Amino acid sequence: MGPPALRRGDRKVHQHRQRFAAQARSPLWVWRAWNRSLGSGMIDLHTHSTASDGALTPSGLIDHAKKAGLRALALTDHDTVAGVAEARARAEALGIAFIAGVEIEIEFDPGEFHLLGLGIDVDDGRLLEALSLLAEARTIRNERIVELLKREGIPIDLEAVAEIAGTDRIGRPHLAEALMRGKVVRTKQEAFDRFLGKGKPFYLPKECLPFSRALRLIKEAGGIAVVAHPYSLFVSKTKLA
């Protein structure tokens, strides 16, 4: 299992790489390890940027982390590593330890759950291929949602949504923004509550990876797999294990 994708010149971090990879089993252990390695201060190992559904650009996220006094941060965008290079460069410039990560959505009975991959090699070919296929499926899904909305007479245009997204990957928040700009709803939250949220008329399920495959991809990319927000699953520890 490979080390986290951190700045090579940081000797203090390098000394803890093997221990991190061999022993890390939970966010609590990771938090303790990084505190010992980097001194006092908080860290955040689960964040999103505009590369997926976050509010800040990768650089903006690092700037925010610096202002908040964080010592280390992992960027774990949904099903993409597109923001990692920008975030890593900014973190190095500001002296924040950076962990390359991803959050993969997993098939799970009765729905889905999210699996974090921390310390991954973002150039791993197999991981990139899988994420590319998920991105393609998400694009098709968004196009279908727009078509369904238009079919019901709701004014929305895919080109306008793409303009809102800019260089970022189109997601439901961009659809919500388009509905708000078209005065269909007053807020993005209303767009989700009425149209786009799970169980609402225009919600379409996302394509997810089987747990075994996602776990294998993370490990083969040198990363450590951690269940994201496990208590939101409302399942027993036995079933989760």
Give residue-wise pLDDT tens across range 51-70.
887 889 999 999 999 999 99
Q: Is the pLDDT of residue 7 over 80?
A: no
- Residue 54: predicted pLDDT: 83
**Whole-number mean pLDDT of the chain?**
82
pLDDT tens-digit series, residues 116-169: 999 999 999 999 999 999 988 988 998 999 999 999 999 998 888 888 887 667
Domains along the sequence of the chain with CATH: 11-122+207-240 (3.20.20.140), 129-196 (1.10.150)
Burial of 167 (0-12, 13-18, 19+ CB in 10 A): exposed
Extended beta strands in 109-202, E state: 111-118
Tell me what pLDDT residue 9 has.
47
Residue 5 has pLDDT above 90, yes or no: no
pLDDT at site 231: 66
